[in-house]
Structure formats: C-alpha cells, structure tokens
Amino acid sequence: MEDYVTRGRVLADATNFARDMINEPGNYMTPSDMVEVARGVASEWGLEFRVIEKEEMEQLGMGALLGVAQGSKQPPKFIIISYRGGGDGSSTLGLIGKGLTFDSGGISIKPSESMDEMKGDMAGGAAVIAVMKAIAELKPRIDVTGLVPATENLPDGAALKPGDILKAMNGKTIEVVNTDAEGRLILADAICYAKSLGLSPLIDIATLTGACRVALGDICTGAMGNNQELVDKVISTGMDAGEKIWQLPMFDEYKELNKSEVADIKNTGGRYGGAITAAQFLAEFSDDTPWVHLDIAGPSYIKKDQSYLIKGATGAMVRTLVAITINLYEEKKE
C-alpha cells in the first residue's frame, strides 16, 4: 500500500510541476528558462543532463529546428535528460516533447484572439521534464532519455517564410508552406537525433495541431504511430492512469497530402485530416523505429474547470508516460 501511496504522490507532484511550467508567461519561460528548470531537475535527482546549443545544431544539420528558431532573438536549445536505472542495456526509451515556448505562427501569423494561450505550446516539453523528475523519484530499473527541442516561433525580418525549403538532420528536404506548422519541424530533428542515439521505442508528445482539438475537443489525446502493439499499450496505460486517448488512422493514402513538387515533403497537408497528416509527416523521420505520437492540443489546456482539473494547464500525459515507463520495466522483469 505504501508503494501505491508514494507513486500517487509522485505522479501528482509531477503533474503539478508540468502545470506550473506551462502556466508561466512566455517571457518567464523562454527556451533558456526551460533549460534552467530541466537543469534543476537533473541536479536534484542525479540525472545526466546536456544542452545542444545553436552552433552544435548547425554542425548536426538540424535545419528544421533552426529554421523555426531564426525569427526569434531567443537562442534555440535542445535539452537532453537521461535516467540510467540499470536496464538490461538492450534499449532505452526515448520521450520527446515539443518545446515551443511561444508560438505566434510566424509569418503565417495566428489571429490575435487567444494568442496568449500559445505560451502553452511547450506543454509537451514540460511533460517530458516532469516525467523525468517522477521517474528519477520512483527509480524503475529501466533506461529513459527525455529530449526537448525548445524555441520560439516569431515573425521578425529573419523569420522563416512560406515557400522556403529546409533540410532536416537526416537529409530530407522540407517545403514550408505554412510557418504555423512549426511543431512538426522541430520534432522532426528531435526524432532524427533520438534515432542517432539508438533510442527505442520513441514516444513524442506535442500540442501539435488545432485539427486534433477540433476532432477530439479538450476531452482526450489523439494517438497515432507505426507500431500497433505500442499504440495499444499507450492507450490502455492512459486509460488506467485516468487519461483518455483515442487512436486516429494512419492509412497510406494520407501520405499523398504531404507530397511536395519541390522537396521530399511539405510541412502541411492542408486542412482536412490535419492531425493525421501531421503524424504522417513525423513518420517520415521515425522510419522503422517503434514510435507513437501523442497530440495533446485539446486536453493540455482547458478554459473552465473539469472535475478535479482547474482551468489552465492540465499536465496532460504526465501520468500516462510515467506509467508506460514503469509498465515497460515490469515487462522486462517477466
């Protein structure tokens, strides 16, 4: 019983930790501020910690992340936190969180109404940092690495423009048809980097598309992936953790919408099926590595109280990601 009480306390603390990060104003939660929060977690709990700065991003060829970042005076950061729990060494779970600390839409600027909520576009990154904190406290015998590409998306004179072409870390070229489809760009390079580290399986979490919010409201998270067994595990674990997740299809026909005439792929397939085409975009970078994408655009932020949740940031998917990590550990013991 004591173990369950401890786990409940840790999960609650981690969820509130993420909420507090997400609720911070954008000028107090810049990419550099996210680094300091993550550094504090790593220092307190003995986690490995590293930050990839802009110069190293250039050396690594992270053109998609750098393209999004070029309109902001805030330097981009790529946060890496690792927990070594003494796994069997066969694999390391990779958790990837979108860290857009403010998203104006860039040149494809968003309407001013409710733009203030875009301080929460780093909810996925906050969730990953909070999960790493919880895992360090619970100490499962598994290895986990959290990755958070962090930047702002702003429209200054150097900003990315519609029609520009970027090259991601794996060499794929991307036609940018809408600068407000930026989250998938920074995640593309993050997924490439995770693969270069040999991380597997991969789970990314992001406030990625308004389309997912339209489809599912603020009630549940959308799930898509390339490995049905892993998708099923994430969904069932989420339900056990009290977080609703609904799978959307990944039929090959959706890939056609992302085809570009001037690059390997374009960064949006248009209005219809937008949550799915965004996931299909990410699938171009995960390749054969088992991967699940969680779109939390709806449930990450609510405008009125829901049950035990107060309005504002919810810390969506923190409990689920902690639980799936522990479940993978339990499976390895069997």
pLDDT (0 to 100) of residue 328? 79
Cα(208)–Cα(212) distance, integer angstroms = 8
- Give the CB-side neighbour count of residue 62, counting CA atoms within 13 A: 32
pLDDT at residue 152 in the model: 98
User: Beta strands of 128-201 (E only): which ranges?
Assistant: 143-153, 165-167, 173-175
Q: What is the pLDDT of residue 89?
A: 63
What's the average model confidence in pLDDT over 231-258?
A: 97
**Residue 333: which pLDDT band, with cuts at 50, 70 and 90?**
low
Q: What rounded mean pLDDT belongs to the chain?
A: 95
Judged against a pLDDT cut of 80, whether residue 213 lies above it is answered with yes
Give the separation between CA 172 and CA 182, rounded to whole angstroms: 16
Q: How far apart are CA 27 and CA 204, in angstroms?
A: 25
The secondary structure element, H or E, covering residue 97 is strand 93-97
Give domain limits for the chain.
2-333
7-43 residue pLDDT tens = 999 999 999 999 999 999 999 999 999 999 999 999 9
- Radius of gyration of the chain from Cα atoms? 18
Percent of the chain surpassing pLDDT 70: 97
Mean pLDDT of 208-220: 96
What pLDDT is stored for residue 334 in this prediction?
A: 56
Mean pLDDT to the nearest integer, 283-287: 97
Residue 153's closest CA among 199, 89, 99? 99
Looking at domain 2-333, its CATH class is alpha beta
- Catalytic residues, by residue number, are 110, 184
pLDDT at 327 over 90: no
Task: Calculate the alpha carbon distances from 215 to 124, 144, 275, 284, 333 in Å.
Answer: 19, 31, 9, 23, 38
Percent of the chain with pLDDT over 90: 91
Q: What is the pLDDT of residues 103-146, one digit of tens each?
A: 999 999 999 998 999 999 999 999 999 999 999 999 999 999 99
Burial class (CB in 10 A: 0-12, 13-18, 19+), 246: middle
Res. 86 pLDDT band, cuts 50 70 90:
confident
Q: How confident is the model at residue 2 (pLDDT cuts 50, 70, 90)?
A: low
User: Strands 93-97 and 143-153, how do they pair?
Assistant: parallel
